[in-house]
Amino acid sequence: MDNPSKIMEGGIEYSLGKFDGKSVLYDFPKILVYLNAKGKLLFGENFKIYKEDRDILLKLCSYFIKDKVNCDKFEIDIKKGLLLSGPVGCGKTSLMKLLRHLVPLRRPYEMIPSRNVTFSFNHLGYKTIEDYGNTKFYCFDDLGVEPPGRFYGKDCNVMGEVLLSRHELFLQTKQKIKTHATTNLNAEELEDRYGNRVRSRMRELFNLIAFDENAGDKRK
């Protein structure tokens, strides 16, 4: 039987903790070693796990490995998706691309730039909203800064509509269909962008995990 506490990357075996035959007892420092190595493989040698991001990473890892004790402590609901917010360049997208590798046996989500959803709508119309309201798992990247939707002269708040569809799906499937997102906007800005109705659905869809607003731009 495979040992789910170990992951092979680039010919090296990484241990994430101990496997007792039923479940994995994860070890956070070991997880960080693995994520650092996997990040270098995915994003290049300059990738590193920053000390100041450890608190955020502990929350994100607790969610992905379904560590109930930590999730309760951080008030994270495992049934909901994640909305990772923070300033431009703080590493939100990289972390969401990276963390899906932490639990390889679990169903992965697709990273979709929110602007691509709007571009698709402007080209294909309402079929786009139907397409993203399906049973796949998505992480919508850069939510809130996508261009306006317009199809045959009609304006549409495309990502707002997609989130409403995803929320309906979330309720219908008893929280089995997850939606994640990253955003540079804060709660008020999201409400301005999508309106009160979408914002209240977002509270039901997402756990909000936020970087410090003074987090530096790691791309500089």
pLDDT tens, 3-16?
778 888 888 888 88
CB atoms within 10 A of CB 8: 9
Provide the sign of the torsion angle of the four alpha carbons 166, 170, 171, 172, taken in this order: positive
* Integer Cα distance of 7 and 220 in angstroms: 31
As a whole number, the mean pLDDT across the chain is 88
Q: Which tokens is 77 given?
A: 């609901």
- Kindly tell me if the per-residue pLDDT of 105 is higher than 70: yes
Q: Please enumerate in sequence order all residues whose Cβ is within 8 A of that of 200, keeping only pairs 6 or more positions apart, or say none.
A: none
CATH superfamily of 79-210: P-loop containing nucleotide triphosphate hydrolases (3.40.50.300)
Instruction: Give yes or no for a contact between 37 and 7, defined as CB atoms under 8 angstroms apart.
Output: no
Furthest-apart CA atoms within the chain: distance in Å? 60
* Integer Cα distance of 80 and 68 in angstroms: 13
**Where is pLDDT greater, at 144 or 214?**
144
pLDDT of 162: 94
Say which range, 2-6, 9-13, 44-48, 66-70, has the weakest mean pLDDT. Answer: 2-6
pLDDT of 1: 40
pTM for this entry: 0.90
- Kindly tell me if the per-residue pLDDT of 153 is higher than 80: no
Q: What is the mean pLDDT of residues 7-31?
A: 85
Instruction: Give yes or no for a contact between 179 and 206, defined as CB atoms under 8 angstroms apart.
Output: yes
Q: What is the mean pLDDT of residues 61-88?
A: 93
* Integer Cα distance of 97 and 207 in angstroms: 17
Say which range, 12-26, 85-99, 103-117, has the weakest mean pLDDT. Answer: 12-26
Work out the angle at residue 141's Cα, subtended by the Cα atoms of residues 140 and 144, and round it to the nearest 5 degrees.
90
CB atoms within 10 A of CB 197: 13
Q: How confident is the model at residue 135 (pLDDT cuts 50, 70, 90)?
A: confident
In the chain, the amino acid numbered 92 is K
pLDDT of 107: 83
Nearest to 71 by CA among 216, 219, 209: 209
